Amino acid sequence: MSKFAPSYLDRINAYPENFARFITRIPGVPVSTDRSAVIAALTPAHENVLLEGGIDPRFLRCAQQVHGKQVAIVGDIGCSYPVEGVDGLFCGGVADCCLGIYVADCAAIWVYDTEKGCRGLVHSGKAGTQLNIVGELFARMHKVLGVEASNCIAVISPCVRPPHYEMDIPSAVKSQLREVGVLPENIIDSGIDTAADTQTYYSYRAEKGNTGRMLALFGRKIEPTA
């Protein structure tokens, strides 16, 4: 198992079709205050993780991430990427695309519907959490794909936490997940503070903006054709 498939993703990765990863700090890649430049520098390493998991990097679907609450459904073909104006993505259970969200202190939240196989991934920092992007994701997944929150597993990534940040993002997100109907036993929090370990994680706050970006991934493994 890849080192980028940590134990807090075990419940999702226990389903053999799932490819859930959290790519942490990549040694040797220079950090920058320029988000686009640092993502470009990290892309080869990120693509290697996809390839190791049997995922074609061309199937990666990303969001613009504007610190809002809008989410979009994506698929194997369609609009250009990253999807403008959104901070979350979701797809149906048979879609071959791989969802991707970049973070450097904000939380990434994986959502998996164990009945239909539908997948969701959102970026929930201070603004997104205050706007309840998690609630928006579940509303859209229910309306478009018929997803029921009671059938879902939700995982909260490493993110900045008290005492390094004034807002307890994971606590708020867990409350929002329970409010939409995710069962408490199906909510998994990594419990990791990114600002407390900059050897392993990028932290916008601890590194005063001169940092990289971690990448949360959520895709479906594609069986090779004969």
Q: What is the dihedral of CA 124, 20, 206, 37, to 10 degrees?
A: -90
The DSSP string of 159-188 is: B--TTSSSS-HHHHHHHHHHHHT--GGGEE
HSE toward the beta carbon, residue 180, CA cutoff 13 A? 27
The DSSP string of 191-220 is: --BGGG-TTTS--TTTTTT-B--EEEEEEE
The pLDDT, as a whole number, for residue 77 is 65
Type of residue numbered 33: T
The pLDDT, as a whole number, for residue 225 is 46
Residue 44 CB neighbours (<10 A):
11
What b-and-e string marks burial along 119-129, b requiring 16 or more CB atoms within 10 Å of the CB? bbbbbbbbebb
| Structure confidence by residue, pLDDT tens digits, 85-113 | 999 999 999 999 999 999 999 999 999 99
Residue 123 pLDDT grade (very low, low, confident, very high; cuts 50, 70, 90): very high
| Structure confidence by residue, pLDDT tens digits, 153-194 | 999 999 999 999 999 999 999 999 999 999 999 999 999 999
CB 60 within 8 A of CB 50: yes
Mean pLDDT value across residues 204-219: 96
Please report, for the chain, the start and end positions of each structural domain, with discontinuous segments joined by +: 7-220
| Structure confidence by residue, pLDDT tens digits, 6-19 | 999 999 999 999 99
CB 189 within 8 A of CB 153: no
Per-state percent for the chain, helix, strand, coil, to nearest 5: 30, 25, 45
Instruction: Identify the residue with better confidence: 79 or 53.
Output: 53
pTM as predicted: 0.95
Q: Please report, rounded to a whole number, the percentage of residues in the chain having pLDDT higher than 70.
A: 96
Burial class, 29, CB count within 10 angstroms (exposed 0-12 / middle 13-18 / buried 19+): middle
**Topology given in CATH for the domain delimited by 7-220:** CNF1/YfiH-like putative cysteine hydrolases (3.60.140)
